[in-house]
Each structure stands twice: as C-alpha cells, then as structure tokens.
Amino acid sequence: MRQLKFSQDFKTILDYPKIWTKEEIPDEVRAFIKNKSAQNIISDEKENYYCSKCLHVLDENLFCPNCEIKYEFNKYKDNLIYLGVPVDFENFYYENLYFVYDLNDNDLIFYVIKEEVSYYHELIYFPLKMSDVSILRAFYIKKDKLIDVTNHKEYTYEYLKKTRKVEDLDFVLINDYYQGFLYTANLELLKKTVYKYSKLWLAQKYLEEKTILASFLLYYALWEPSFEYLINNELYSLAFDDVYNLEYDDKMKSLLNKSCEYFNFIKNEELNARELEALKLCLKCDIDLIKFLGHNIYALEDLVNITKINFAKLYKYFKENNLGDDAMYEYYDYLKIAKRLGYNMKDKTILYPLNLKEAHDKVTSDYKKVYMPKIDKNIKKLSQKLKVNKYEEEKYIIYPAPSLNSLVEESKMQCNCVRTYADDYSQNNCQIYFLRDKKNIKKSLVTIEVRKGKVVQMRSKYNEMPSRELTTIIKNWEKRIVII
Ligand SMILES: [Zn+2]
C-alpha cells in the first residue's frame, strides 16, 4: 500500500509507502517492547535498584518481593534506567526507544518507536506502571537518502569513507542521537534489501541485549566497508559501537584476521577500537593492561614518540601511585617537557617520578620562561585557520582558542591542565576549542581537544564530563570538523 501526499510546496505529489499508525503496530512488535520494558531496572542517584513494575526497592539478588520478579542485568547493562535523582513516582517519567525494520511491498521502512513510561495515576495511591507506545519517526530507506514519512522530509546524505562521517546536508538526522533496542525477529527480511551486505541478521543474539545508536543501523551497516567483515567474524561490539574509530590499516587487518593469535582474545574480550590500538602497540593478551592502555590511547601514541615505553611498567607505576585516568595527559606532558629541557629519558627517577604533580609543575615553570613567546605567535596563526570549524547555534558557540593567554585563562577558570597543551596546539598536534554560552561569552563551559578531526577530550570544570546537552552539541559538531 502506498500513500500519495503533496510535498511541502504542494507542487509535486510524493509517493511514499504507507506506514503503521500507532494502532497498527503489530502485536509481535508490541510484545517485544513489553518484554524489553519489563526487564528495565531503575537506579537512583545513590545507585539503589528498583523494580520497574512497582518501584519497590530490589534486594541484593535483584528480586522484587512485591511482584516476586527476579531481575537480571543484561550483559551490557543496557536495561538499566539510570536517574540522577531520587525516585519519586508522582514526577517520574522515562522513555525507551525501539527500532523495527519492516518491508512494505519492496519498500524498506525503519521505525523509531517511543515508549513513554510513567507511574502516577490520579485514582491510585501507589506506583502503577503505565506505558504508552507511539511511532516517533519512520524512515523510508533509499540507497542514498532517507525519507521521514512522519513529516515528509527527505534527507540526502553522503557517507565519506575517508573520515567515516556522514555528510548530511540538512544536519537533521545526525542531530538525533537515537539509541534503542532493535527488533531482531525479522532481520532476515534485510537479505532482499540494500542491507544485503550488512549481514545484520547474523548479529541477532548480540543485538538482543544491546541498545544501538540508530546511526549505526541506518548508515554504518549500509555504507561502512569493514562492517560486513566485522559481522562475519562476530566482532559485533566493534561493528555496532565503534566502527568509525577503527583505523582499518594493514596492521589492524592482520590483527582482525581469524588466524591471528590475538583474534580470540579480541573477540572474547570485545575490545573496542581504542583497545585494539593498544593491543597493536603492546601485543599482550592482558585485559587489564589493554583496558588501561586503550583508555589512554591518544596520549600513549604521542608518548611513544617521546621515549621508549615499557607498557607493563607504566601500568604498574600508575596503579601503585593511584594515578587516575586523567593523569596520563599530565604524565605525557611532563615527559614531553622534560625531554625538551634535555633531561635524561633513560633515568628511572625521571621516567617515573615519585610525585608526578610536583614534577610536572616544576618542568612546566622552567619551560614557560623559555618558550612562551614563540608558542603564542604560532597559536594565533593556527587559530585563524581553524576558524572554518567555528560553530554557532541559538545558545552556544564553539571556536578555536585564539591565543596562549586564552588557554591560560581557560585553565584558570576550568581548573584543568589545558595550558600545558599550548605547545602541542601551537604545533598543530592537537587543536583546542572552547564551547561557551553566547550570553556569557567570557565564562568557560567546556574545553575541547581535537585530534585528526576527532574530539578526544571534552572537559568541564575540574576535568568533569560536560552535561548531556552539551555533549550532544559537541558530538554533532564533531561530525563536521574540517581536518586542518
Ligand atoms: Zn515490583
């Protein structure tokens, strides 16, 4: 069945497939949603767990004595509804998203279905789970274009293989960070569609317990050349979480080869792209080490350029000195400056100082006296070029740090270490951008570090992660960064 509709300018008649109304959502899809929703576990700001049916506190075995239901975290904990606030059933509301592919004649539709859950009912004085399901969006999928049949908008886009980015001229689709569970019972229908090479149906088991970003299903499964290979080799978390971060060079290809001695380790531990880079560096099947290195991979790749690093020793040094995740940049920075100042990089007391912070501050102050004027000049020059990446929307603005002084001011306001990136920034090894509120442009909100067109760090005050709203803005901006 098809429906004829006028386009927005009423000049042409559009020929779109008919989509489900809210009432027409098939029973099996409703059952899937109900089942997924019943597995939700709610957690408050104190990380107490609650039954999502009656909001009763769960015991240590995740058992609800009220409903006599035993809950379980799924492997990825994607059934956890995390609230930053206490659970209050009168004002408590959350949404779940679900994705469904459907074939209508030969037209492929991708549904985004929204479930709204609330617990307050005027007539009842205890929490009662109420769930309302509706069609949020429905995309008619063409090879190089998506048509949202719910609002009759067409989105043409281009997948850029080199950067793994989606060039979406309207910036509408990629602004939507939809994440949800995919209905997997009918995935075989994709065999006859543009998705025939994606082999999505092979990942059914993985997809059953994992929420996925819609962009992976809509774009990456369709366009990313390595996607099929990853799916065929059951490297699902790479395919669905991280494929755009994967540097698919010859070395990586050999690591991901089934006959490679590391293959089973990669698959069983579900390494992400950063952890794979870490494995490439150290070639050790030690998951704690790989997680540590993977978390710090961008700093490490620079670190190995400064001096020869024994990764196991480095890990031990961090662990024994209780150095947190952010200390890696401080450490990198310290070593880099120490080398510039001509210290002996083979000396263990230089390589692993007893007090990293003190050692870092000492070399920084020595260094400032010598190099500052030169750095400032280079930053001013570079920031002019980086203005192509300036971004402005209604409320916020993102722009390149214009001078050394601006970096110093930023790090004073943010209490972070950005000042010490000045040298890297001045040499265009990294790029520093500020996100600010247009109404209060002098006040720092988020400091962003970009490398090779990708955001590698975004930090609010005291090195904290920015709010969800700002993170979304930055993630969207990231997709349009021009690499300079
Ligand atoms: Zn219950």
What is the per-residue pLDDT across 406-424, written as a single tens digit (0 to 9) for each? 988 888 777 666 656 788 8
Evaluated on CA atoms 166, 167, 168, 170, the torsion sign reads positive
pLDDT reading at 171 higher than 90: no
How close is the Cα of 46 to the center of ligand 1, in Å?
19
What per-residue confidence (pLDDT) applies to 416?
65
**CB-proximal residues (5 Å) to ion ligand 1:** 51, 53-54, 56, 64, 66-67
Asked whether residue 66 falls in the same domain as residue 161, the answer is yes
CA distance 318 to 340: 23
How close is the Cα of 30 to the center of ligand 1, in Å?
21
How close is the Cα of 27 to the center of ligand 1, in Å?
25
What per-residue confidence (pLDDT) applies to 145?
85
Domain extent for 173: 2-244
- How many domains, the chain? 3
Asked whether residue 145 falls in the same domain as residue 100, the answer is yes
What per-residue confidence (pLDDT) applies to 457?
85
DSSP line for 306-366: HS---HHHHHHHHHHTT--TTHHHHHHHHHHHHHHTT--TT-HHHHS-SSHHHHHHHHHHH
% of residues, the chain, pLDDT over 70: 94
Q: 């092979």: which residue's tokens?
A: 202
Question: How confident is the model over 377-383, as a mean pLDDT?
Answer: 94
The mean pLDDT of the chain is 88
Asked whether residue 283 falls in the same domain as residue 423, the answer is no
CA distance 464 to 458: 8
How close is the Cα of 87 to the center of ligand 1, in Å?
14
How close is the Cα of 468 to the center of ligand 1, in Å?
30
Asked whether residue 214 falls in the same domain as residue 65, the answer is yes
How close is the Cα of 181 to the center of ligand 1, in Å?
23
Asked whether residue 232 falls in the same domain as residue 257, the answer is no
- 363 occurs within a structural domain: no
How close is the Cα of 35 to the center of ligand 1, in Å?
15
How close is the Cα of 45 to the center of ligand 1, in Å?
19
Asked whether residue 262 falls in the same domain as residue 398, the answer is no
How close is the Cα of 52 to the center of ligand 1, in Å?
7
Question: How confident is the model over 109-118, as a mean pLDDT?
Answer: 96
pLDDT, tens digit (0-9, with 9 covering 90-100), for 232-248: 999 998 999 888 888 87
- 25 occurs within a structural domain: yes
How close is the Cα of 58 to the center of ligand 1, in Å?
8
How close is the Cα of 129 to the center of ligand 1, in Å?
10
Asked whether residue 184 falls in the same domain as residue 274, the answer is no
- 365 occurs within a structural domain: no
How close is the Cα of 31 to the center of ligand 1, in Å?
20
- 9 occurs within a structural domain: yes
Q: Is the pTM of this model over 0.85?
A: no
Of 50-59, 368-377, 390-399, 447-456, least confident by mean pLDDT is 368-377
- 322 occurs within a structural domain: no
Asked whether residue 165 falls in the same domain as residue 94, the answer is yes
- On whether the CB atoms of residues 163 and 453 are closer than 8 A, the answer is yes
pLDDT, tens digit (0-9, with 9 covering 90-100), for 247-260: 878 888 888 888 88
Question: How confident is the model over 28-55, as a mean pLDDT?
Answer: 95
Asked whether residue 62 falls in the same domain as residue 182, the answer is yes
Asked whether residue 183 falls in the same domain as residue 34, the answer is yes
How close is the Cα of 255 to the center of ligand 1, in Å?
47
pLDDT, tens digit (0-9, with 9 covering 90-100), for 315-342: 999 999 999 877 888 899 899 889 988 8
Of 278-287, 443-452, 454-463, least confident by mean pLDDT is 454-463
